[in-house]
Chain A
Amino acid sequence: MSQTNWEVVIGLETHTQLRTQSKIFSGASIAFGAEPNVQACPVDLALPGTLPVLNQEAVNHAIRFGLAIGATIAPVSIFARKNYFYPDLPKGYQISQFELPVVIGGTVKIQLDGQTKEVQLTRAHLEEDAGKSLHDDFVGLHGEKSSGIDLNRAGTPLLEIVTEPVMRSAAEAVAYAKELHALVMWIGICDGNMQEGSFRCDANVSVRPFGQKEFGTRCEIKNLNSFKFLEESILYEVQRQIELIEDGGKVRQETRLYDPDRQETRSMRSKEDAQDYRYFPDPDLLPLHITSDMIDAIQLTMPALPSTLRSQWQESYGLSDYDVALLTQSKSTADYFIDLLKLIVADLVKPAANLMAGDFASALNRDGMDATDSPIRPSHLAQLLQRIQDGTISNKIAKDIFSIMWERGLTSPLAEQGVVDAIIEEKGLKQISDVGALEKIIDQVLAENQKSVEEFRSGKEKAFNSLVGQIMKASKGKANPSQVNQILKDKLTN
Chain B
Amino acid sequence: MNWHEKSLSELSQAIFAKEVSSVELTQYFLKRISQYKGLNAYLDVQEELSLRDANFADELIAKGQAGPLTGIPVAHKDVFVTKDWKSTAASKILENYLSPFDARVVERLGIRGAGMVCLGKTNMDEFAMGSSNENSAYGPALNPWNTQYVSGGSSGGSAVAVAAGLAPIATGTDTGGSIRQPAAFCGITGIKPTYGSISRYGMIAYASSLDQAGPMGKSAADCGLMLNAICGHDQRDSTSLRREPDNYLRLLGKNWSETAQLPLQGLRIGVPEEYFAQGLQEEVGQAVRAALKQFEDLGATCIPVSLPKTKLSIPVYYVLAPAEASSNLSRYDGVRFGYRAKEYKDLTQMYERTRSEGFGAEVKRRILIGTYVLSQGYYDAYYLQAQKIRRIIAQDFQTAFTICDVLMGPVAPQVAWKVGEKSKDPVEMYLEDIYTLSPNLAGLPAMSIPCGMSTEGLPIGLQIIGNYFAEAQMIQIADHYQHVSSWHQLAPSSSVTSSGGSL
Name which residue of chain B comes closest to A79, CB basis: B238
A278 touches B238 (CB 8 A): no
- The interface residues of chain B lying within 8 Å CB-to-CB of A278 are 326-327, 371, 374-376, 379
- Among B81, B94, B200, B333, chain A packs the most CB atoms within 10 A around the CB of B333
Q: Kindly identify which residue among A42, A48, A284, A286 contacts B204, using a CB–CB cutoff of 8 Å.
A: A48
Q: Kindly identify which residue among B97, B203, B331, B351 contacts A46, using a CB–CB cutoff of 8 Å.
A: B331
Given contacts A83-B374, A285-B238, contact A92 B333 (CB under 8 A): yes
Q: Contacting chain B: which of A49-57, A262-270, A419-427, A428-436?
A: A49-57
Is A87 among interface residues, defined by CB-CB distance under 8 A?
Answer: yes
Q: Kindly identify which residue among A47, A87, A91, A284 contacts B239, using a CB–CB cutoff of 8 Å.
A: A284
B208 touches A284 (CB 8 A): yes
1/0 contact string of B264-282 vs chain A (CB within 8 Å): 0000000000000000000
- Report the Cα distance A51→B81, complex, angstroms: 13
Is B336 among interface residues, defined by CB-CB distance under 8 A?
Answer: yes
Q: In the assembled complex, how far is the CB of residue A22 from the closest CB belonging to chain B, in whole angstroms?
A: 14
Name which residue of chain B comes closest to A93, CB basis: B327
Name which residue of chain A comes closest to B371, CB basis: A278
- The interface residues of chain A lying within 8 Å CB-to-CB of B208 are 283-284
Q: In the assembled complex, how far is the CB of residue B305 from the closest CB belonging to chain A, in whole angstroms?
A: 29
B331 touches A90 (CB 8 A): yes
1/0 contact string of A6-47 vs chain B (CB within 8 Å): 000000000000000000000000000000000000100111
Given contacts A83-B327, A91-B331, A278-B327, contact A48 B209 (CB under 8 A): no
- Report the Cα distance A58→B204, complex, angstroms: 27
Name which residue of chain A comes closest to B104, CB basis: A49
Is A149 among interface residues, defined by CB-CB distance under 8 A?
Answer: yes
Secondary structure at chain A's binding surface: helix, strand, loop or mixed? loop
A90 touches B336 (CB 8 A): yes
A286 touches B323 (CB 8 A): no
Q: In the assembled complex, how far is the CB of residue B172 from the closest CB belonging to chain A, in whole angstroms?
A: 16
Q: In the assembled complex, how far is the CB of residue B475 from the closest CB belonging to chain A, in whole angstroms?
A: 28
B97 touches A48 (CB 8 A): yes
B331 touches A92 (CB 8 A): yes
1/0 contact string of B328-364 vs chain A (CB within 8 Å): 0111010111000000000100010000000000000
Q: Kindly identify which residue among A48, A85, A285 contacts B333, using a CB–CB cutoff of 8 Å.
A: A85
Name which residue of chain A comes closest to B208, CB basis: A283
- The interface residues of chain A lying within 8 Å CB-to-CB of B333 are 85, 87, 92
- The interface residues of chain A lying within 8 Å CB-to-CB of B203 are 49
B238 touches A48 (CB 8 A): no
CB interface residues, B 372-387, toward A, < 8 Å: 374-376, 379, 383
Q: In the assembled complex, how far is the CB of residue B105 from the closest CB belonging to chain A, in whole angstroms?
A: 10
1/0 contact string of A90-131 vs chain B (CB within 8 Å): 111100000000000000000000000000000000000000
- The interface residues of chain A lying within 8 Å CB-to-CB of B379 are 278, 280
Count A interface residues, CB 8 Å.
28
Name which residue of chain A comes closest to B370, CB basis: A278
A47 touches B335 (CB 8 A): no
A92 touches B327 (CB 8 A): yes
- Report the Cα distance A85→B327, complex, angstroms: 10
- Report the Cα distance A149→B202, complex, angstroms: 24
- The interface residues of chain B lying within 8 Å CB-to-CB of A45 are 336-337
- The interface residues of chain B lying within 8 Å CB-to-CB of A92 are 327, 329-331, 333
- The interface residues of chain A lying within 8 Å CB-to-CB of B209 are 283
- The interface residues of chain A lying within 8 Å CB-to-CB of B255 are none
Q: In the assembled complex, how far is the CB of residue A54 from the closest CB belonging to chain B, in whole angstroms?
A: 7
- Report the Cα distance A32→B326, complex, angstroms: 33
Name which residue of chain A comes closest to B387, CB basis: A281
Q: Kindly identify which residue among B89, B239, B351, B371 contacts A48, using a CB–CB cutoff of 8 Å.
A: B89
Is B236 among interface residues, defined by CB-CB distance under 8 A?
Answer: yes
- The interface residues of chain B lying within 8 Å CB-to-CB of A91 are 330-331
Name which residue of chain B comes closest to A276, CB basis: B376
- The interface residues of chain B lying within 8 Å CB-to-CB of A285 are 238-239
- Report the Cα distance A87→B371, complex, angstroms: 19
- Report the Cα distance A345→B450, complex, angstroms: 88
- Report the Cα distance A54→B100, complex, angstroms: 22
B94 touches A85 (CB 8 A): no
Q: In the assembled complex, how far is the CB of residue B319 from the closest CB belonging to chain A, in whole angstroms?
A: 11
- Report the Cα distance A92→B371, complex, angstroms: 13
Q: In the assembled complex, how far is the CB of residue B352 from the closest CB belonging to chain A, in whole angstroms?
A: 10
- The interface residues of chain B lying within 8 Å CB-to-CB of A46 are 331, 336
Is B237 among interface residues, defined by CB-CB distance under 8 A?
Answer: yes
Interface residues of chain B, those whose CB is within 8 Å of chain A, are 80-81, 87, 89, 94, 97, 99-101, 103, 200-205, 207-209, 235-239, 323-324, 326-327, 329-331, 333, 335-337, 347, 351, 371, 374-376, 379, 383
Task: List 24 A-B residue pairs with CB atoms under 8 Å apart, sorted by A's residue number.
Answer: A46-B336, A47-B99, A47-B337, A48-B81, A48-B204, A48-B331, A49-B80, A49-B204, A51-B201, A52-B238, A83-B326, A90-B331, A90-B335, A149-B335, A276-B376, A278-B375, A278-B376, A280-B323, A280-B379, A283-B207, A283-B324, A284-B208, A284-B239, A285-B238
